[in-house]
Amino acid sequence: MPRKTTFTDNQYQGHKLTEKNLTFNKNAMKKILEMTNSMIARHSKVLQIRFDLRYPQDHIPPQSTSPGRKRSDFSRAMQAVTQELNRKHLDVQYIGKEERENSIHPHAHFGLQINGNKKQYRNSILPIVEKHWGHTLNIPAEEVHRKQLVFPCNKDGEGNPRANGYRIDRNDILHFQEQKTAAIRQLSYLAKEREGDTLPKGTRRYYFSQYQKDYDKDMERRRRRARKKSPFHDEAEGAD
């Protein structure tokens, strides 16, 4: 019997998910939780930001309309965003979900997490995303901002204000679990499976940054620093 890849329960490992009566991708939820746990293990504070990447309505798709070409726009933009933020030592990780409905253009939902000890506010992150999305589409960042092509996800479907991100502080004993659950609940929207999705068959729908690889590298750096601080370090270095 083939393994089931989706579920409909609005709870996942003790965390409440975004809405009832939705179908969720099991692997995506697993990776959302793994990424969040990885970031919390590395940083006592984690800052999360939600946004969507959209195409302009008048954007002309390339003539060679292969799924990979459209996908590469989102990939190239997020690679540039990640490189710039990592130069600021923000340790960027993200998950993305590409979808298409009633349009020639896809759109993508993203949830991005960074080192909350280095950056306390989300407002300065979105202009960086706008810059790189504009560069990818070869249009000015001002146009990206004006047309909300990087949509900040700060309103619900009825136009009511809502948070477009969360801060998780593992040292906040009273609120840590609440903060983590809220962050995972927000990201669970990216794990939903939508029946009306019209992306071509075989198109990659999910984007995951290399959180496990970066976690392993960080843990190895910590072990090396600990060994150097050890009073037995010099002796150990000389041992055969």
**Is the model more confident about 132 or about 7?**
132
The answer to the question of residue 169 being in a domain is yes
Separation CA 236–CA 55 (nearest Å)? 57
Model confidence at 69, in pLDDT bands (50, 70, 90)? Answer: very low
Question: Letter for the amino acid at 56?
Answer: P
pLDDT at 233 over 60: no
pLDDT at 70 over 50: no
pLDDT at 212 over 80: no
pLDDT at 228 over 90: no
The answer to the question of residue 12 being in a domain is yes
The answer to the question of residue 221 being in a domain is no
The answer to the question of residue 96 being in a domain is yes
Separation CA 42–CA 39 (nearest Å)? 5
The answer to the question of residue 170 being in a domain is yes
Give the domain extent around 27: 6-209
| Rounded average pLDDT over 176-202 | 85
Q: Which of 17-21, 38-42, 165-169 has the lowest mean pLDDT?
A: 17-21
The answer to the question of residue 218 being in a domain is no
pLDDT at 119 over 70: yes
| Residue 5 half-sphere exposure toward CB, CA atoms < 13 A | 7
The answer to the question of residue 223 being in a domain is no
The answer to the question of residue 123 being in a domain is yes
Separation CA 164–CA 154 (nearest Å)? 5
Number of domains in the chain: 1
What are the phi and psi torsion angles at 145 (to 5°)?
Answer: -65, -45
